[in-house]
Amino acid sequence: MRLTLKIWRQKNSETKGKIETYNIDDISPDMSFLEMLDVLNAKLINEDQEPVSFDHDCREGICGSCSLFINGRAHGPDRRITTCQLHMRKFKDGDTIYIEPFRAKAFPVIKDLVVDRSAFDRIQHAGGYISINTSGNTQDANATPVNKEDADAAFDAATCIGCGACVATCKNSSAMLFVGAKVSQYSLLPQGQTEASRRVVNMVNQMDLEGFGNCSNTGACEVECPKGISLDNIARMNRELVKASFK
d(CA 175, CA 33): 26
φ/ψ of residue 106, rounded to 5: -80, -5
What is the per-residue binding string for another protein in 30-59, x denoting contact by CB under 8 A?
xxx-xx--xx--x-xxx-xxxx-x-xxxxx
Query: Of 61, 68, 91, 229, which lies in the binding site for another protein, with binding defined by CB under 8 A?
Result: 61
Count of residues interacting with another protein (CB under 8 A):
131
Does position 15 interact with another protein (CB under 8 A)? The reply is: no
Distance CA 131, CA 108 (A): 31
Minimal distance, residue 13 CB to another protein, in Å: 9
Single-letter residue type at 145: P
Distant-in-sequence, close-in-space partners of 98: CB < 8 Å, separation ≥ 6: 6, 19, 69, 70, 71, 72
**In angstroms, rounded to a whole number, what is the distance separating the alpha carbons of residues 178 and 100?**
21
Taking the least distance from each CB to another protein, the nearer of 13 and 23 is 13
Strands 68-70 and 3-9: unpaired
Among 33, 40, 68, 120, binds another protein (CB under 8 A): 120
Q: Does 20 sit near another protein (CB under 8 A)?
A: no
Q: Restricting to residues 132-171, which ones interact with another protein according to CB under 8 A? A: 132-142, 144-148, 151-152, 154-155, 158-159, 161-162, 169-171
Q: Which is nearer to another protein, 23 or 242 (CB)?
A: 242
Pick 46 or 94: Cβ nearer another protein = 46
| Of the candidate residues 77, 92, 93, 198, the single one contacting another protein (CB under 8 A) | 77
Tell me the C-alpha distance between 244 and 63, whole Å.
32
Question: Which one of 5, 186, 196, 229 is in contact with another protein (CB under 8 A)?
Answer: 186
Query: Which one among 87, 91, 177, 196 touches another protein, defined by CB under 8 A?
Result: 87
Spatial separation of the C-alpha atoms in residues 242 and 200, rounded to whole Å: 10
Please name the helix (run of DSSP H) or strand (run of DSSP E) that holds residue 69, with its range, or none: strand 68-70
Q: Residues 11, 20, 93, 198: which binds another protein (CB under 8 A)?
A: 11
Minimum CB separation of residue 73 from another protein in Å reads 5
d(CA 102, CA 104): 7
